[in-house]
Each structure stands twice: as C-alpha cells, then as structure tokens.
Amino acid sequence: MFPESPLIQARALTKRFGSFVAVDGIDFDVAPGEAFGFLGPNGAGKTSTMRMIACMSPVSSGTLRILGMDPITDGPNIRRRIGLVPQEDTLDLEMTVLDNLLVYGRYFDLPRKVIRERARRLLDFAQLTDRANDKVDPLSGGLKRRLTIARSLISEPELLLLDEPTTGLDPQARHLLWDRLYRLKQQGVTLIITTHYMDEAEQLCDRLVVMDKGRIAAEGSPRELITRYSTREVLELRFRVDDHAPLAAQLAGLGERIETLPDRLLVYTDDGESAAKSVADRGLDPVASFVRRSSLEDVFLRLTGRTLVD
C-alpha cells in the first residue's frame, strides 16, 4: 500500500481497562512524512491510542510496531525519537519556563549546549521569550499549552504526537502552530494529531480516521471522506420552533438525507439553492436558511451521530 514500509503499523490494536474496552481492535498504518489524524467524540479512544503509540501504555492485545520497533522491548529507543504533546499539560510546575525546556532536553540525553540553542529558538516560536525566567504555575492555560508544544520539539523528533494540541489556544496561536506543523511536515516529520476542530483536521491531515466507541468508523483523506459520506452541499434551516424534529417530516424527499439537530435542520443535497426553493414551495418559512459546502463536520455527524462541539 505504501512505497516505504509504514512508520506505525497497528493490527487488531486493543486497549482494555479492566473489562472496559477503550480501543477495540483497530488497524491502521501511518506512512513516513504523513500527517495522520484521529477524530472522534469524547471517550472514543483517541488518547488511549495515542498513549500506546507513545509507549506510555501497554498494548492489551493485537500488535503495534513503531519505527520498526516493538514498544514492549524498545520503549526508550522509540520514545527517544518521538515528541509528545499530551492532552493534559504535564509541565514541571516547580521550575521556570526555560528550565522546563532545558531539563526536558536532558531527559533525552542531549548536550546542554544544543539544548540551550534549541530552547532559545523554541521560546521565540512559542512567544515566551520574555517569560523565560517566570515560574510555570501562574502562567495562563494557553501559555502553558504553548510551552508544552515547544517542549515536545526540543528533541527534534521524527514523529510528533499531538493530542488536542490547540485546545485553549487563541486563534493567533493556533495559526502559528499550524504554520509550524506545516513546516515540520515539509521537513519530513510525521505528525499524528487528534482534534475536535474540523478546520484543523482539514488543514493539517493528509489522512484521518474517525473513531467511535473504540472502533474506526471511516478512514480516508478529508476530501475522500466528504465525498463518500456527505453531499456536495448542505442547506441549513432554522425555524421559529422549540423542537425541530416534527418539521423534518415536512421536508421529506428534499435532498439525499435530512439531519435533525436541536436548533436546526440540515438538508444534504448536491444542489442547495433548488432545495431552498422547494422549502419555500412547500409553504415553509424558516427564520434562517443558507447553503454551504459540506465539511468534515458533516462526515462526523453522519458517522457518530454527534456534533463535534463539546
């Protein structure tokens, strides 16, 4: 399937916590240099999968090979080549911003001089240079997140794992990170990203999987997934009612599919304008009506029955 052998190969990969199955026998490959995404609602098993890839959580059953090695026997050697941005920040709160980078680099056994130089550049990138000597604890959530991201890059990893990296970041910081990730990808770094932001997934991921209840519900590039699971356009309708469900029946036959959300109705069709006309023809009078292109959000809704917003 790939010209080169995959960087990560998972077969029937399973994670159990007691009798609870968090990851239920998933298969996937990630090619070198690829940006690969995991999408899924809360509790889908994304973090559990990421932790297994980071060699921080033993595989319950199935096989997992990372960089051609087995996490059970080669954990330290794999982790040496991985950068991890965990979902929850794990900064060293007893130290300053700069020391967090310096000490973390030492865990990778890097020479102090190299770390110092990298730390300077990373602080610049994270726009934390003027906070370098501040304690970490009182920093705002977004600043801590930026430091966590900077820290993951101190070892110049070949494989970067980002578990909801931009949660808590302001738009400017998000775009800065996207730009950075894009450049890392140009340099051949393999990226694995979980996110709840569809725009992020569409921007960054070459290929992604949608996970639900520990299983993979679909896999493909963002474009492919939209073509496969959605229509070209979506007509969004909002009515002056408390409950949109009864209105769905009156729209029957319009478009390929109708999705009912608490506050609006979505009509999936290849021609939004003519669907909107038909709505008017049927004597319905929505407060708001607009046509947009299908997005990953729609794929997600179709596959998991849930919207992405937590």
Partner 1 sequence: MSTPTVLDRAADGAAGAAAGLRITPTWSLGSRRAMRLVERNGRVYFRMWVIFVSGFFEPLFYLLSISVGISKLAGPVAGPGGHLISYTAFVAPALMAVSSMNGAVMDATFGVFFKLKFAKVYDAVLATPMDSGDVALGEISWAVLRGGIYSCVFLVVMAGMGLVHSPWAALAVPVSLLEGFGFAAVAMATATYMRSWQDFDFVTLALMPMFLFSGTFYPLSVYPSGLRELVLATPLYQGVAVIRGLDLGSPTWSMAGHCLYLLVMSVAGLMVASRRLERLILK
Ligand X SMILES: Nc1ncnc2c1ncn2[C@@H]1O[C@H](COP(=O)(O)OP(=O)(O)OP(=O)(O)O)[C@@H](O)[C@H]1O
Q: Which residues contact ligand X (rule: CB under 6 A)? A: 17, 20, 22, 40, 42-48, 87
As measured in angstroms, the least distance from the Cβ of 75 to partner 1 is: 6
Tell me if 289 sits within 8 A of 235, measured CB to CB.
yes
Q: Which is nearer to ligand X, 19 or 187 (CB)?
A: 19
Alpha carbon 157 to chain centroid distance? 19
As measured in angstroms, the least distance from the Cβ of 209 to partner 1 is: 23
Q: Is 167 in the site for Mg ion (CB under 5 A)?
A: no
As measured in angstroms, the least distance from the Cβ of 46 to Mg ion is: 5
Q: Is 86 in the site for partner 1 (CB under 8 A)?
A: yes
Cα separation, 217 vs 200, in Å, equals 19
As measured in angstroms, the least distance from the Cβ of 21 to ligand X is: 8
Tell me if 147 sits within 8 A of 128, measured CB to CB.
yes
Tell me if 169 sits within 8 A of 145, measured CB to CB.
yes
As measured in angstroms, the least distance from the Cβ of 47 to Mg ion is: 3
**Number of neighbouring beta carbons within 10 Å of residue 64:** 21
Beta strands in 18-74 (DSSP E): 20-30, 35-39, 61-66
Q: Which is nearer to ligand X, 87 or 295 (CB)?
A: 87
- Residue 270: helix, strand or coil by DSSP? coil
Q: Which is nearer to partner 1, 63 or 90 (CB)?
A: 90
As measured in angstroms, the least distance from the Cβ of 50 to Mg ion is: 7
Q: Which is nearer to ligand X, 149 or 251 (CB)?
A: 149
From the list Mg ion, ligand X, partner 1, none, which binds 40 (C-beta under 5 to 8 Å, kind-based)?
Answer: ligand X
Q: Which is nearer to ligand X, 16 or 257 (CB)?
A: 16
Q: What is the greatest pairwise CA distance in the chain?
A: 74
Q: Of 40-99, which residues contact Mg ion (CB under 5 A)?
A: 46-47, 87
Residues in the interface with partner 1 (CB under 8 A) total 29
Tell me if 169 sits within 8 A of 148, measured CB to CB.
no
Choice from 9, 29, 31, 56 touching partner 1 (CB under 8 A): 56
Q: What is the CA radius of gyration of the chain?
A: 22
Residue type, 242: D
Label residue 45 left, alpha or beta by phi (over 0 means left) and psi (-120 to 50 means alpha).
left
Choice from 2, 107, 182, 290 touching partner 1 (CB under 8 A): 107
Tell me if 56 sits within 8 A of 31, measured CB to CB.
no
As measured in angstroms, the least distance from the Cβ of 58 to partner 1 is: 7
Q: Is 90 in the site for partner 1 (CB under 8 A)?
A: yes
- Residue 169 φ then ψ, to 5°: -90, 145
Q: Quick one: tokens of 137?
A: 């604890």
Q: Which residues bind partner 1 (CB under 8 A)?
A: 17, 54, 56-58, 73, 75-77, 79-80, 82, 84, 86, 90-95, 99, 102-104, 106-109, 155
Interacting residues with Mg ion (CB under 5 A): 46-47, 87
